[in-house]
Amino acid sequence: MRIRIIIRKLLIVFLALLPCKSYSVDIIKLQLQQLSQNKAAHNKEVIQRALEITEPEYGPFKLEVVKITMSGNRMLKSSLEGKLINTVIVPANERWDKQHIVIRIPVRLGLLSYRLLLVNKVDLPKFEKITTSQELKSLTAGLTNYWETTKILKQYDFKMVETGHFNGIFLMLNKHRFDYLLRGIYEIYDELDSRQALLKDVVVEPTLALNIPMLSYVYVSPTEPRIAKRLESGLHQLIVNGELRKILYKHYAIDINRANLKGRKILKVENSYYNQEKSNYSEYLLYTH
């Protein structure tokens, strides 16, 4: 009996002295806006794959999807704290650059740079006559007061009506409170289809598109530098091996084809942010008008 006890104690000591390799589990709290199902699904898959492809180097992870719609200010504050959410995908901008860890890889390959117009169908004839962004300024845009697009159009003196309510802006267009609403190619069809019963007079304008340079970046809470480094490594691998493009087309190919950019007049509007900020991955962008 004593021999067994001695052997057991020696075994415990031996095992304790053996080197062991362990990983901490990275917990990624991804905020998903619930305004567009396509966009939410795309965001989730991009982050999921970036984490999976880095498992050999960084080890296990847990992806927590936080399905909540927030205003821009609330999202900024919450992600800074890093408790409810610590990772978001938003249009690149100076405010987020200064306060978060920014991963300068265009997760939508520049697709956000092209906006289509939702209009009241009675106005279709007057949009057909427009050929320049200067001519578009004679009409009034509907915008939320927290969009980056709003800031840009203000710089160039576009006429606009602002609201703080995203869902309400569609109803305002239906009631003809303004002339047009700008939405991304990957947003516009999904958003209109989901509201079609309420927006019987709203259609996608078929002849125009605005080119406003804008990239979608991943921003990580400053409380999570390891997660930021991991996601940057994973996203870099995905863009270089072509998987990021495949994921984009998986979710947005139908919308890209419906948009038919080649058949539209492209109206250009500068974005001063990109006079200073240049993506290192510009060769991967989808379009270069």
Angstrom distance (rounded) from CA 103 to CA 2 = 61
Q: For residue 129, what are its two tokens?
A: 């006559």
pLDDT score recorded for residue 22 = 47
pLDDT for the residue numbered 119: 97
The Cα angle at residue 92 between residues 87 and 97, in degrees rounded to 5: 70
Per residue in 252-289, pLDDT (tens digit) is 999 999 999 999 999 999 998 887 666 788 888 887 54
Write out the H or E segment, with its range, that includes residue 287: none
Report the pLDDT value the prediction gives residue 4, as an integer from 0 to 100: 47
Which residues of the chain have a pLDDT value below 70? 1-23, 34-35, 276-278, 288-289
The pLDDT of residue 35 is 66
Chain mean pLDDT for the chain: 88
Q: For the residues of 260-282, what is the DSSP string, one character each?
A: -GGGSEEEE---THHHH---TTG
The answer for residues whose C-beta is within 8 angstroms of residue 256's C-beta and 6 or more apart is 111, 185, 186, 249
CA dihedral angle for residue 38, residue 44, residue 50, residue 56, rounded to 10 degrees: -140
Answer for the pair 248, 106: CB distance below 8 angstroms, yes or no.
no
> In the prediction, which pLDDT does 43 show?
95
Query: How much is the pLDDT for 288?
Result: 56
Question: What's the pLDDT score for residue 217?
Answer: 95
Q: How would DSSP label each residue in 185-216?
A: HHHHHHHHHHTTTT-TTEEE-SSEEEE----E
Structure tokens given for 263: 């058949």
Measured CA to CA in angstroms, residue 258 lies from 116, 169, 190 at distances of 11, 23, 12
Burial of 203 (0-12, 13-18, 19+ CB in 10 A): middle
Label each residue of 42-101 as H, E or C.
HHHHHHHHHHHCCHHHHCCEEEEEEECCCCHHHHHHHHHHCCCCCEEEEECCHHHHHHCE
